[in-house]
Amino acid sequence: MRIITTIGILGAVTLVGCDSRSEDGLGSQAASGVAARPVARVGPRAIGAAEVEDLAATDAILPEAALQRLIDAEVLAQEAERLGFGVEREAERAIERLMVRSMLHDMEDENTPESISEKALREDYALHEDKFRIPERRRSWHILVKDEGAEAKALAASILRELQQAKDPYTVYERYAEGAPKGVRLEVLAEELPPVTKDAGLEKPFKDAIFGAKSEGPLNTLVETSYGWHAVVVAEILPTEQLSFADVEEASRLRISQARRTAVLVQTVQALKAEGLVQYDEEGVERLLSRTGLPERAE
């Protein structure tokens, strides 16, 4: 979520030295050259190319993304200070993080899961009712002969007959779970599959076979896939299930509250940026983004 990401950003800022607090203008040149020059200003404070590169290397992200993270973090830190969450302005970034966390905490208090009304929950349920429907699923197991030749097909057909004739087909599965019978050189695999829907990433012949079955039990015919020949048993058919309002109420409360908190945070950052708080040194940004050989990510 965006809120979590922002807090992560603030943690990353602690990696940057306090030289980024320099009051030099955007056009000033630091002694260390391009890497140290400011590339953006948030209010009175500059963001240098060096700290952008540090964050990009630490988090293995592009410089553009690193610069945006640093700007967002500074925007929130200054807004937290303006709202009075800090007693004194110190150079320690840890204090900034506490200020921002306090501000975020106040934002979150207004949109807790408990604050979501039943009316809002029921409107959300009606809007997303189709997403609260669990489609039909089928659980199966199969005994696979890993070969596409005639000998493999004959062995798989023999196994399928055993399954169809057995009082309890699973006893056949257990026997082949140990592998192929003695004297048989073909590879045999017995495998249970979890319940799957029609959208599952199974090979089409296998999926069509299990969903084409009219009832639970061994299929009438073998199934051929790129793996070989399958003797398949549909173990369980789980019908379509519609989750009730009560089933999803708790999860919906959490989801809606998180969405509202994220929206508040995004609106706050965007509104502050719209006030002209952020300025870019276009030449500095261009040089930063054209640099190669940035540090490797720290382990």
Would you call 160 exposed, middle or buried from its count of C-beta atoms within 10 A (0-12, 13-18, 19+)? buried
Distances (CA, A) of 184 to 91, 145, 154, 179, 191: 76, 11, 12, 10, 19
Say how far residue 79 (Cα) sits from the centre of its chain. 29
The residue among 286 and 45 whose pLDDT is bigger is 45
> Which of the four pLDDT bands, split at 50, 70 and 90, describes residue 261?
confident
Q: What is the biggest distance separating any 2 CA atoms in the chain, rounded to whole angstroms?
A: 87
Q: What are the residue ranges spanned by the domains of the chain?
A: 2-114+253-290, 136-239
Q: Which residue has the tokens 């399954």?
A: 163
The predicted structure's pLDDT at residue 230: 96
Q: Looking at per-residue confidence, does 44 or 222 come out higher? A: 222
- Assign residue 102 a region (left: φ > 0; alpha: ψ between -120 and 50; beta: otherwise): alpha
Using CA atoms, how far apart are residues 39 and 36, in angstroms rounded to an integer?
Answer: 9
Share of the chain above pLDDT 70, in %: 71
**What mean pLDDT value characterizes the chain?**
76
Give the pLDDT confidence of 90-119 residue by residue, as tens digits: 444 554 555 566 666 666 667 788 888 999
Look at the chain and count its residues. Answer: 299
pLDDT tops 70 at residue 206: yes
More confident residue, 30 or 220: 220
Does the pLDDT value for residue 135 go beyond 50? yes
Average confidence (pLDDT) over 192-199: 93
| Beta partners for residue 233, in sequence order | 141, 218
| 213-242: average pLDDT | 94
pLDDT band at 184 (very low <50, low <70, confident <90, very high): confident
Coil vs helix vs strand at 274: helix
d(CA 206, CA 223): 6
Residue-by-residue DSSP string for 187-219: -EEEEEEEEE-TTSSS-HHHHHHHHH-SSSEE-
How much is the average pLDDT of 279-285?
70
In CATH, the architecture of 136-239 is Roll (3.10)
